[in-house]
Chains A and B, each alone.
Chain A
């Protein structure tokens, strides 16, 4: 019953803001087999904000993002990007997949990966010109990886690889940035570099959505949270939606009480 209530509330909020929401999801259900990974989820991303998608392992965080982007096919549901169907708005979206989702032994250099972010501009047979190169190098500079442009991507550390992925997203010059676990397994310097870039994007009026796993940094990094455990638990500003109660409801027994206490203290 409580879940249905949450869904009802989601719809009423949605009616007002779906037109100008960078990413609005309605009734999204995705299944990889018998059990749904994401069930009847509504989400309305706030423009110009940084939103964290949070939930326990296997809660469907990445799947939600992938289904919203059309990477996996949902069983049902609607996705609009700035009020229009996804297919018409691809140029406004930049996506950073999980680092572990690709084979880093692939024979390519750092700069080639960043140039992939310009492929919509380049088209099928367009040549890479000096201005494309300059723009890709500038994206590498913004993530502090300028000196690594000619390296083979497998020679980088995990954090450096993550920064290269972020640079590729920057090269796409989008309005909505969707990142899947960008802080997973990266060093402290990289985490700082990435969050600085994301904050600068927000200051530039861009919208950022991040699948995030570290509860301790949520209040520092994000304005909005979206809690999910197959079904939506809650979404809203951090101050209202990221509480001991909502976390308990999302994580159930899986989140140790001690951890919740710690977070409650951090929240004041």
Chain B
């Protein structure tokens, strides 16, 4: 494919898909080890009331207020999940179940009880983005990467997800040691002065921000898949957390690129005329990678599992 075709049509969706995949996979490593991986699923439900409230306040369907509403709802949700988990002393899955069904129901109720139901407030339209549509029409080829005028026409999702990714990387780099220690042994972490409660909260808030930024750009299906599949597959490739993180990033990139390419060209190769959803294909690829790792990964035996210890 030539640069004239690739840069405007495929470069930005590929980059956005890849950045979104990495931004979710990185915190996903810790969430999977802490058995909180379904938080991505939870967040995809709890953003609804946030979007509705944002719409009611602004009266317009526009990206920024809705993203802020979604992010606000996500943060409220993770705080509630943590609070219920601690105060009720129940497992995180149960706390998540209570919070996300309640907030989703609240969103539906709000939608029905206000005038919004007459407006076409389409959640899919507002947040669950479409990767293929994020094209860069101002670009004419590789040279456009140095053309400030063309760069101004970049889809706004790209800088947003890039900034989010940088934030995620900085957080994990800065708090690597406390994150690792408190994920492995929370009691010990506390005795050496790590504020495990605040750190755990910060981790889920970072994950929520990554999720909302990725919803906006690529849709919820990738988010839920990327929180779980690359880290879970990476866990079966190695017995070291440092190496696991590297594998998970590699798997996230591989899923994003191969999924995007297969969605665009796979059906053509099979003789069909239409492309399939890139987001769906990326999620499928991450699932396939996980399946391969589960079958052939060198560290897939749970040595510490009950019964074999």
Give the distance in Å from the alpha carbon of A120 to the alpha carbon of B191 in the complex.
Answer: 11
Residues 162-199 of B at the A interface (beta carbon under 8 Å): 174-175, 177-178, 180-181, 183-185, 187-188, 190-193
A122 to B192, CA, bound (A): 12
Given A107-B33, A107-B241, A154-B302, output 16 extra A-B contacts at Cβ < 8 Å: A32-B89, A71-B191, A97-B187, A101-B187, A105-B302, A106-B33, A106-B183, A106-B184, A107-B244, A113-B184, A116-B181, A125-B174, A153-B304, A154-B305, A154-B309, A157-B309
Question: A69 at the A/B interface (Cβ < 8 Å)?
Answer: yes
Which chain A residues border B243 with CB–CB below 8 Å? 107
Which of the candidate stretches B2-10, B134-142, B232-240 sits at the interface with the other chain? B232-240
Any B CB within 8 A of the CB of A7:
no
Q: CA separation between A157 and B180, bound complex, in Å?
A: 23
- Assuming the contacts A106-B184, A154-B303, asked whether A70 and B191 have C-beta atoms less than 8 A apart, the reply is yes
Who on chain B is nearest to A151 by CB? B239
Contacts of B241 in A (CB 8 A): 106-108
- Residue-by-residue, is A86-109 near B (CB-CB < 8 Å gives 1, otherwise 0)? 010010010101000111111111
Q: Give B262 Cβ to nearest chain A Cβ, in Å.
A: 30
CB distance from A249 to the nearest CB of B (A): 30
List 25 A-B pairs, Cβ < 8 Å: A66-B187, A69-B187, A69-B191, A70-B191, A71-B190, A90-B191, A90-B193, A93-B191, A101-B187, A102-B184, A103-B304, A104-B303, A106-B304, A107-B33, A107-B244, A109-B239, A120-B192, A120-B193, A124-B175, A125-B177, A152-B303, A154-B304, A155-B303, A168-B188, A172-B192
Shortest A210–chain B CB gap in Å is 16
Q: Could you say which of A107, A116, A168 contacts B238, with CB atoms under 8 Å apart?
A: A107
Instruction: Check if B302 sits within 8 Å of A101, measured CB to CB.
Output: no
Chain A residues 19 to 42 lying within 8 A of chain B, measured CB to CB, are 32
Residues of B within 8 A of A104 (CB): 303-304, 309
Cβ A69 vs Cβ B239 within 8 A: no
Question: In the complex, how many angstroms separate the beta carbon of A258 from the nearest chain B beta carbon?
Answer: 32
Once the chains bind, are B188 and A124 in contact (CB under 8 Å)?
A: no
- When chains A and B are docked, how far (Å) is the Cα of A154 from the Cα of B243? 17
Contacts of A106 in B (CB 8 A): 33, 183-184, 241, 304
Bound: A104/B307 CA distance, A: 13
- Nearest CB to that of B185 among chain A residues? A102
Q: Does A158 contact B (CB under 8 A)?
A: yes
CA distance A109 to B239 in the complex (A): 7
Question: Smallest CB–CB gap between A49 and chain B, Å?
Answer: 21
Known interface pairs A32-B89, A102-B184; A119-B177 also in contact (CB < 8 Å): yes
A124-B184 in contact (CB<8A) = no
Q: Which residues of A contact B244 (CB under 8 A)?
A: 107
- Residue among B178, B184, B243 with the most chain A CB within 10 A? B184
| Cβ-defined contact, B240 with A109, below 8 A | yes
A77 CB → nearest B CB, Å: 17
Residue of B nearest to A172 (CB): B192
Given A116-B188, A124-B177, A125-B174, A105 and B303 contact (CB-CB distance below 8 Å): yes
Residue of A nearest to B175 (CB): A124
- A142-173 contacts to B (CB < 8 Å): 152-155, 157-158, 168, 172
A residues near B187, Cβ cutoff 8 Å:
66, 69, 71, 95, 97, 101
Q: Would you list the 9 A-B pairs with minimal beta carbon distance, nearest first?
A: A154-B304, A154-B303, A104-B304, A152-B239, A105-B304, A95-B191, A97-B187, A90-B193, A155-B303
Contacts of B174 in A (CB 8 A): 124-125
Interface band, chain A: 35 or more
Distance (Å) between the CB of A263 and the closest chain B CB?
31
A97–B188 CB distance below 8 A: yes
Q: Taking the nearest CB of chain B, how far is it from the CB of A46, in angstroms?
A: 21
- A49 and B107 CA atoms in complex are apart in Å by 61
Contacts of B184 in A (CB 8 A): 102-103, 106, 108, 113, 116
Q: How many Å from the CB of A262 to the closest CB on chain B?
A: 31
In the bound complex, do residue B302 and residue A119 qualify as a contact, i.e. CB atoms below 8 Å apart?
A: no
Collect the chain B residues with CB atoms within 8 Å of residue A122's CB.
177
CA distance A176 to B152 in the complex (A): 62
Are the CB atoms of A119 and B192 closer together than 8 Å?
yes
**Chain B positions 269 through 309: 1 when the CB is less than 8 Å from some CB of chain A, otherwise 0:** 00000000000000000000000000000010011110001
Residue of B nearest to A152 (CB): B239
Q: Which residues of chain A are near B190, meaning CB under 8 Å?
A: 69-71
B309 touches A158 (CB 8 A): yes
Taking the closest CB of chain A, its distance from the CB of B47, in whole angstroms, is 31
B238 partner residues in chain A, CB cutoff 8 A: 107
Interface residues of B in 112-162 (CB under 8 A from A): none
Give the docked Cα–Cα distance between A57 and B187 (Å).
Answer: 20
Could you tell me the distance between the alpha carbons of A243 and B303 in the complex, rounded to whole angstroms? 43
Within A30-68, the residues touching B (CB, 8 Å) are: 32, 66
Question: In the complex the two chains form, what is the Cα distance from A113 to B184 in whole Å?
Answer: 9
Q: How far is the CA of A87 from the CA of B191 in the complex (A)?
A: 9
Residues of B within 8 A of A71 (CB): 187, 190-191
Contacts of B191 in A (CB 8 A): 69-71, 90, 93, 95
A95 and B181 alpha carbons, distance in the complex (Å)? 14
